[in-house]
Amino acid sequence: MIVAGCDIGSLTAKAVILKDGNVVSTAVHKVSPKPEESAELIMNMALGKAGLTMDDLDFSVGTGYGKDQISFINQTESEISCHGKGAWRSDNSIRTVIDIGGQDAKSIKLDEQGNVTRFMYNDKCASGTGRFIEIMAEALELDLAEISSLGLKSQKELRLSNQCVVFAETEVISLINEGHKLPDIINGLNFALASRVAALAQSIIVEENVVMTGGVAKNAGVTNMLEQHLGVSFLQHNVDPQINGALGAAYYAEEAVKQSPLS
């Protein structure tokens, strides 16, 4: 059985190919203005890595902002469901999933069977999303990898007075002009993002074990701050946290084939 999950987010497109329950290929790429083109590109990338074509797929499921624009899928599922499914199927002990995407943040609570019992979702303000870090990286003329590593070198506690992205960007420029060191400024940015996401997560009462997913999970400065805010230690995801939604979609595709009368 060969199935696929395709997650078209606001900033990146992700695809996962499963063969007989095992991940055989994954792909991540920046999205284009047209979701349908991003979906075809990312799926062909993943299929190419696995030496497969679209005709080899038994079933495919789409999720993310652009899921309704994916032409080749058999079914769609919500981001909440897919992130929960991807995390729980990877580790059945997970009870809370905190996902920080490009333009939203999600806190998801799971029961022992992996069902979503409660969730909170923020897509109204960029200050609690990956876009916040991206904008600040542009303001500091750094790439995202540099932002992640530099924040860990901070030796002075620095806090931003503004959480709004527009005002925070202006404040960051002022801090630079005042002579503050980059690691301290970045640490302050990480604190601001983590505090916003922690408030979202705490609204559903965080229950261990907890895993962080999404591209921002690769930023050690943010994850460390978030652990401190929540008083927990995140489990290490055994797959790339950025593809968790696509992985969950692939698991939904696998279940659809198994439940089919023809299977």
Is the backbone peptide bond immediately before 209 cis, with ω within 30 degrees of 0?
yes
pLDDT at residue number 89: 96
CATH 3.30.420.40 spans which residues of the chain? 1-91+242-263, 93-236
**1-91+242-263 CATH, one of 1.25.40.10, 3.30.300.30, 3.30.420.40, 2.60.40.350:** 3.30.420.40
Rounded distance, CA 149 to CA 189, Å? 13
**93-236 CATH, one of 3.30.230.10, 3.40.50.150, 1.10.3720.10, 3.30.420.40:** 3.30.420.40
Rounded distance, CA 142 to CA 17, Å? 33
Residue 161 has pLDDT above 80, yes or no: no
Radius of gyration of the chain (CA): 19
pLDDT at residue number 134: 86
Greater model confidence, 100 or 144: 100
Model confidence band, residue 144 (pLDDT cutoffs 50, 70, 90):
confident
Beta-bridged to residue 121, according to DSSP, are 106
pLDDT at residue number 123: 64
> In whole numbers, what is the pLDDT of the chain averaged over residues?
92
> Distances in Å between the alpha carbon of 109 and those of 76, 78, 97, 129, 130?
21, 15, 7, 19, 21
Residue 60 has pLDDT above 80, yes or no: yes
pLDDT at residue number 91: 95
Which of 85-94, 116-125, 232-241 is predicted with the least confidence, judged by mean pLDDT?
A: 116-125
SS3 (DSSP) at 227: helix
Which residue stretches of the chain are H helix?
35-50, 79-90, 130-140, 144-150, 165-177, 182-202, 220-230, 244-259
Rounded average pLDDT over 38-63: 97
The tens digit of pLDDT for each residue in 99-125 reads 998 888 999 999 999 999 999 988 666
Residue 133's φ and ψ, nearest 5 degrees, are -65, -40
> 87, 248 in Cβ contact below 8 A?
yes
pLDDT at residue number 263: 55
pLDDT at residue number 237: 80
Residue 241 has pLDDT above 80, yes or no: yes
